[in-house]
């Protein structure tokens, strides 16, 4: 029963994260409803963060069901940074007012992802060194 609950929770979060890409917004707070997604430039960063956070949580929930644990404490930061790299450009393209300046943070997230990847690799190598 626990695995089913975690699986359904991960599926729901992934659905909430991805549906705005297809023009729908699943709102779970207070009055749960499915409504059309209206991209506004002023609130776009909130949807990017929401989708990246929910996709990251769903990723770790699905890994838990596969009995894969993160090997380092940097792993959640890496997954969130990569999720921002995925959802950020998609939402920027969906925004009604597109400008190339909105893509300016992408090099920062690419750099962060590379940094977190290296840190994750280093921490994963030494996590069990002195354990035995």
Mean pLDDT for 4-27 is 94
Does 58 have pLDDT greater than 90?
yes
The tally of CA atoms less than 13 A away on the side-chain side of residue 86 is: 16
What are 35's strand-pairing partners? Answer: 25
DSSP state of 33: E
**pLDDT tens digits along 63-110:** 999 988 776 788 999 999 999 999 999 998 888 888 888 888 899 999
Backbone angles phi, psi at 38, to 5 degrees: -115, 110
The ranges assigned to domains in the chain are 2-126
Question: Which two tokens mark 3?
Answer: 């695995």
């Amino acid at each position: 029963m626990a695995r089913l609950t975690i699986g359904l929770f991960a599926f729901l979060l992934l659905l909430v994260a991805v549906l705005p890409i297809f023009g729908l917004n699943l709102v779970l707070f207070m009055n749960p409803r499915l409504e059309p997604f209206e991209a506004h430039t002023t609130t776009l960063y909130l949807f990017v963060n929401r989708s990246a956070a929910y996709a990251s949580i769903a990723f770790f929930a699905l890994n838990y069901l596969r009995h894969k644990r993160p090997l380092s404490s940097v792993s959640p930061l890496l997954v969130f940074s990569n999720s921002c790299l995925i959802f950020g450009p998609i939402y920027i393209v969906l925004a009604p007012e597109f400008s190339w300046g909105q893509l300016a943070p992408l090099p920062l997230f690419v750099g962060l992802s590379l940094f977190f990847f290296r840190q994750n690799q280093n921490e994963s190598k030494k996590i069990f060194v002195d354990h035995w």
